[in-house]
Amino acid sequence: MSLKTDNGPAVTLSIVIPCFNEARTVESCIETVLAIQDADLRLQLIVVDDHSTDRSADIVEKLAARHTEIVLLRHDVNRGKGAALRTGIARATGDFVAIQDADLEYDPQDLKRLVGVLRLGVADVVMGSRFLSHGYHRVLYFWHSVGNRLLTLLSNMLTDLNLSDMETCYKVFKREVIQSLDLKEDRFGFEPEVVAKIAHQGLRIYEMGISYRGRTYAEGKKIGLKDAWRALYCILHYNLPLASVGIQLAFYTLAGGIAAVVNLVAFLTLFYAGAGTTVSVLTAFFLAAAVNYGLSIAFIFRHRIRYSAVLEMLIFLGAIAVIGWLDLLLTRRALDASWSPAVAKLGASAIILLLNFAVRRYIVFPQKVSADWKPQNPGSGAH
């Protein structure tokens, strides 16, 4: 498949550059990006200064005075990379939209190759991969690469994509695609969030190898361990609500297992403290139900997908009241049959786990997808 587009009409690429305290690199970054402009590719550079405390905004302002392609937007407070990207994406007017970090870890020449696939009309999104063979790569942190691959693997499991680099900065979109997404993340959670949302829209997604020269922390690298945990949260939070029943059940079993431990510990503590079977069972059950509900709405099901918050909670409380009664009945029957308290509780919990999942999935959080999750610009063809 040839990527030559010389004979086609010129297109405009809007490049969003989030910037926070990048005075050392932002000027060379912008000049390097501007250098890819030619007769076939016009540029709109949208630099979003995220309340830098160095000279970054002043440098960009001077460049904007000389180059009409540059638009400088400013945040009054530091809000994070994701928030800066949302601000820039909303202002984009080009045919396509790309993301470029201000630290020059990525080579803007690669953007022309990624845009070439979009210009062929075969893709809706093209992502650059630092792990496919192409160009040069600076050798840096081993454990960062391991973490990246693990996060990409988990993301692929839930999106059913076969990406090699989910966390890549270089993503190029048709403008109507990226502007249709209801993006929420303020920091580096933008990457797993946007991958989840384009995956579930059925878009045509391509991937190409790119060059990469990463920075060390001494050189200004900002991403850290808390961002890795946030990425993990985002992968689960934005994918699991639309996953298959089997995958949801697998993760619900994990969440249910955590709740079951809470249930067992609370029950045994109260039971051996002399609280009695009824008090011990019901108290432990409702404590576990609270843990279960929190994990469910954080990761597995869409909170308030159909009901108001009040109605959802009333339905949830009604459901756990019925299930709590069944839990008590099953536990009592097991104890009457001379089972040990621990075995009786675990046996009841296993049955209740499956019943809980069915009630959560089909009654409390019914999977009728809300408008912001429906495919708005579905592509045609396979990924």
Q: Write the single-letter amino acid at 135.
A: G
Q: 219-228, 242-251, 303-312: lowest mean pLDDT where?
A: 219-228
Q: Are residues 285 and 270 in the same domain?
A: yes
Instruction: Find tokens 């985002």 and name the residue.
Output: 234
Looking at the fold, whether 236 and 257 belong to one and the same domain comes out as: no
Does 375 score more than 90 pLDDT? Answer: no
Same domain, yes or no: 190 and 170:
yes
- The per-residue pLDDT for range 351-374, each reduced to its tens digit, is 888 888 888 888 888 865 443 444
For the segment 311-327, what is each residue's pLDDT rounded down to a tens digit? 888 888 898 889 888 98
Whether residue 152 sits in one domain with residue 255: no
- Rounded to whole angstroms, how far apart are CA atoms 193 and 225? 18
- Please state, in angstroms and rounded to a whole number, the distance separating the CA atoms of residues 238 and 217: 29
Query: Rounded to a whole number, what is the distance in angstroms from the first to the last CA of the chain?
Result: 16
Same domain, 235 and 251: no
Residue 248, token pair as written in the block? 């949801």
Q: Are strands 125-129 and 171-174 parallel, antiparallel or unpaired?
A: antiparallel
Same domain? For 99 and 230 the reply is: yes
Given a cut of 70, whether residue 136 has pLDDT beyond it is no
Residue 382 in any domain: the answer is no
Q: What is the number of domains present in the chain?
A: 2
The pLDDT, as a whole number, for residue 7 is 47
CATH number at residue 81: 3.90.550.10
Nearest to 152 by CA among 85, 210, 199: 199
pLDDT of residue 128: 95
What is the distance of C-alpha 231 from the center of its chain? 6
Is 190 in the same domain as 43? yes
Give the pLDDT confidence score for residue 166 in this predicted structure. 93
| Predicted local distance difference test score (pLDDT) of residue 329 | 92
Question: Does some domain include residue 2?
Answer: no
**Domain-embedded: residue 379:** no
- 146, exposed or middle or buried, with CB in 10 Å at 0-12, 13-18, 19+? exposed
Domain range for 276 is 245-364
CA distance 185 to 193: 7
pLDDT band at 271 (very low <50, low <70, confident <90, very high): very high
Residue 321 lies in a domain: yes
- Regarding whether 164 and 25 lie in a shared domain, the answer is yes
Q: CA–CA separation, 53 vs 78, rounded Å?
A: 10
In a domain, 161, yes or no: yes
Judge if 228 and 355 occupy the same domain. no
Q: How far apart are CA 198 and CA 339, in angstroms?
A: 51
- Which sign, positive or negative, has the C-alpha torsion 30, 33, 38, 42? negative
Query: Does pLDDT of 343 surpass 70?
Result: yes
Q: Nearest CA to 223 among 80, 107, 108?
A: 80
Q: Is the model's pLDDT at 269 over the cut of 90?
A: yes
pLDDT value of position 367: 67
Specify the pLDDT at position 188: 83
